[in-house]
């Protein structure tokens, strides 16, 4: 299967291990990811704060490029990019005037015909294949019987109109993938709470407070591991706390480890 | 982030209805919103405070009443400047500019060696071919905002 791919800026920088694991998983699932040629930043975190039109136009440029390059679907594995791209699709479709205004500022044709896929939608759709491959190739399977708390954060599930998962308070997509890997998804309370990621540079203390609460809750619920598809969540934890080491597994991303018994070091 | 705001989302909505610009713009609450959308998702009246807050921030900037904390403003300005220069976000470039704008020169310096060692801080920015197109796009949005 061939799929257009929008990596986004962090995948080539602070979250490079996410791209490495994604490409390894894609190879194992025989997915051919074709990077959109000459893609640009989607403006996540900042453009929509400054100007609504800019917040739509920056991601729309990439959708227009994907269209011109013959794609029907684009995979945006970064949760923030996914949210902005998918938000642009809906803004252009639903907001009055946008369908005319966006091609005008883009100076290129834009039919808004591309569907944006998150990593969870993609892997959830492939869960039967994952299950079969994991059973056939991973012996022993290091994930077997591991309790895993799926952390979604904000951008994959909200607003519900643009993301379209089954339930924005208790989504189940990631659990299907965890089960397909023969691990046990656990129920816990903070799966869709905010980690503060967008402030990881500018207001670190808030990020630590929010991420720490989620990380401890995940650990308390699972006693072993948390899975996250949110880049900034794991980046914030990794960069700031050093308490959660990231290790690659056969899933979008697994941040494994036990928070050290020095909680004071988490708070600045 | 509601717990860190002097005016949490429901208060912002109330003051917006009352058109109390002085209180809305005279405080950093608007800038502490991360657009996590929790308030919009859970509002029993289906109000969308996240969109309202985005719009209020735009309005505050237009009226020159921006009370964003220096660090948060520095972050957003540096972010957009990066896109304008290369078409993509160089995280190293973002941090460098952020430090200059915010004055937080030594922030996070301790984690840099470990991140460099893991290849997480590529020093060469990727400049896209269509950079002029991105510049034109950003200028066009700015013109439209100025006109509206």
In a domain, B67, yes or no: no
Last residue of a domain, one of B62, B81, B96: B62
Q: What is the mean pLDDT of residues A73-88?
A: 94
Specify whether B26 is located in the same domain as B77.
Answer: no
Which among B74, B51, B76 has a CA at the least distance from the CA of A45? B76
Specify whether B137 is located in the same domain as B81.
Answer: yes
Specify whether B94 is located in the same domain as B143.
Answer: yes
Q: Total structural domains in chain B?
A: 2
Specify whether B46 is located in the same domain as B87.
Answer: no
Token readout for A205 is: 């203390």
Specify whether B23 is located in the same domain as B56.
Answer: yes
Ranges for all domains in chain A classified under CATH 1.20.1050.140: 2-117
- Are the CB atoms for B126 and A229 separated by under 8 Å? no
Q: What is the mean pLDDT of residues A149-172?
A: 87
pLDDT score at A215: 81
In a domain, B30, yes or no: yes
Strands A115-117 and A184-185: unpaired
Neighbours of A242 (CB within 10 A): 14
Specify whether B138 is located in the same domain as B82.
Answer: yes
Contact (CB<8Å) A47/B83: yes
pLDDT score at A225: 67
Confidence of residue A123 (pLDDT cuts 50, 70, 90): very high
Contact (CB<8Å) A194/B1: yes
In a domain, B136, yes or no: yes
Distances (CA, A) of A15 to A202, B26, B105, B135: 18, 37, 23, 26
Name the burial class of residue A13, with classes exposed (0-12), middle (13-18) and buried (19+) by CB atoms within 10 angstroms of its CB: buried
List the single residue in B36, B71, B80 with the smallest CB-CB distance to A202. Answer: B71
Residues B99, A75: Cα–Cα separation, whole Å: 33
Specify whether B23 is located in the same domain as B82.
Answer: no
The residue that leads in pLDDT, A197 or A76, is A76
Confidence of residue A228 (pLDDT cuts 50, 70, 90): low
Give B-chain residues touching A45 at CB under 8 angstroms.
75-76, 79
pLDDT score at A226: 66
Beta bridge partners of A227: A150, A254
Q: What is the mean pLDDT of residues B15-30?
A: 92
Q: What is the pTM of this model?
A: 0.86
Q: Is the pLDDT of residue A138 over 50?
A: yes
In a domain, B45, yes or no: yes
List the single residue in A38, A49, A55 with the smallest CB-CB distance to B130. Answer: A38
Contact (CB<8Å) B80/A47: yes
List the single residue in B36, B98, B108 with the smallest CB-CB distance to A154. Answer: B36
CATH 3.40.50.10320 for domain A2-117, yes or no, is no
Average pLDDT, chain B: 87
Q: With an 8 Å Cβ cutoff, is A28 touching chain B? A: no
Which among B61, B49, B7, B51 has a CA at the least distance from the CA of B32? B7
**Which residues constitute the domain of residue B16?**
2-62
List the single residue in B76, B108, B111 with the smallest CB-CB distance to A46. Answer: B76
Strands A225-228 and A147-151: parallel
Residues B148, B138: Cα–Cα separation, whole Å: 16
Q: Is the pLDDT of residue A249 over 50?
A: no
- Are the CB atoms for B110 and A31 separated by under 8 Å? no
Average pLDDT, chain A: 82
Q: Is the pLDDT of residue A244 over 80?
A: no
The residue that leads in pLDDT, B125 or A266, is B125
Residues A158, A84: Cα–Cα separation, whole Å: 11
Specify whether B79 is located in the same domain as B52.
Answer: no
Specify whether B87 is located in the same domain as B135.
Answer: yes
Neighbours of A195 (CB within 10 A): 31
Contact (CB<8Å) A51/B115: no
Confidence of residue A10 (pLDDT cuts 50, 70, 90): confident
Contact (CB<8Å) B71/A39: no
pLDDT score at B105: 80
Name the burial class of residue A213, with classes exposed (0-12), middle (13-18) and buried (19+) by CB atoms within 10 angstroms of its CB: middle
The residue that leads in pLDDT, A18 or A243, is A18
The residue that leads in pLDDT, B147 or A264, is B147
């Amino acid at each position: 299967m061939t799929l257009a791919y929008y990596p986004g800026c962090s995948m080539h920088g602070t979250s490079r291990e996410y791209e490495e694991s994604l490409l390894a998983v894609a190879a194992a699932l025989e997915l051919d990811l074709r990077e959109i040629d000459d893609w640009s930043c989607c403006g996540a975190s900042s453009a929509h704060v400054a100007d609504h039109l800019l917040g739509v136009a920056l991601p729309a440029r990439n959708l227009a490029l994907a269209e011109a390059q013959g794609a029907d679907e684009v995979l945006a594995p970064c949760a923030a990019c996914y949210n902005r791209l998918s938000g642009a699709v809906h803004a252009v479709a639903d907001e009055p005037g946008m369908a005319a205004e966006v091609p005008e500022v883009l100076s290129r044709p834009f039919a808004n015909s591309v569907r944006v896929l998150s990593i969870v939608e993609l892997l959830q759709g492939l869960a039967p294949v994952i299950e079969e491959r994991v059973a056939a190739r991973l012996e022993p399977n290091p994930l077997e019987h591991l309790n895993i708390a799926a952390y979604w954060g904000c951008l994959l599930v909200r607003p519900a109109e643009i993301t379209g998962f089954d339930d924005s308070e208790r989504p189940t997509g990631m659990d299907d993938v965890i089960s397909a890997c023969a691990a046990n998804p656990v129920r816990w309370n903070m799966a869709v709470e905010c980690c503060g990621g967008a402030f990881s540079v500018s207001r670190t203390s808030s990020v630590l407070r929010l991420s720490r609460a989620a990380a401890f809750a995940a650990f308390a619920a699972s006693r072993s591991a948390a899975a996250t598809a949110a880049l900034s969540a794991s980046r914030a934890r990794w960069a700031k706390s050093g308490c959660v080491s990231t290790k690659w597994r056969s899933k979008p991303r697994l941040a494994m480890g036990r928070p050290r018994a020095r909680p004071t070091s988490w708070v600045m | 982030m509601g717990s860190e705001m002097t005016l949490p989302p429901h208060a912002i909505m109330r003051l917006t209805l009352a058109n109390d610009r002085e209180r809305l713009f005279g405080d950093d609450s608007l800038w502490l919103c991360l657009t996590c959308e929790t308030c919009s998702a859970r509002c029993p009246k289906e109000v969308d405070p996240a969109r309202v807050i985005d719009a209020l921030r735009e309005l505050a900037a237009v009226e020159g009443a921006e009370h964003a904390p220096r660090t948060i403003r520095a972050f957003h300005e540096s972010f957009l400047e990066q896109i304008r220069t290369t078409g993509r976000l160089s995280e190293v470039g973002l941090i460098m500019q952020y430090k200059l704008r915010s004055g937080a020169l030594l922030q996070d310096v301790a984690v840099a060696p470990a991140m460099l060692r893991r290849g997480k801080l590529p020093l060469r920015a990727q400049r896209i071919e269509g950079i002029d197109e991105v510049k034109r796009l950003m200028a066009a949005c700015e013109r439209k905002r100025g006109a509206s």
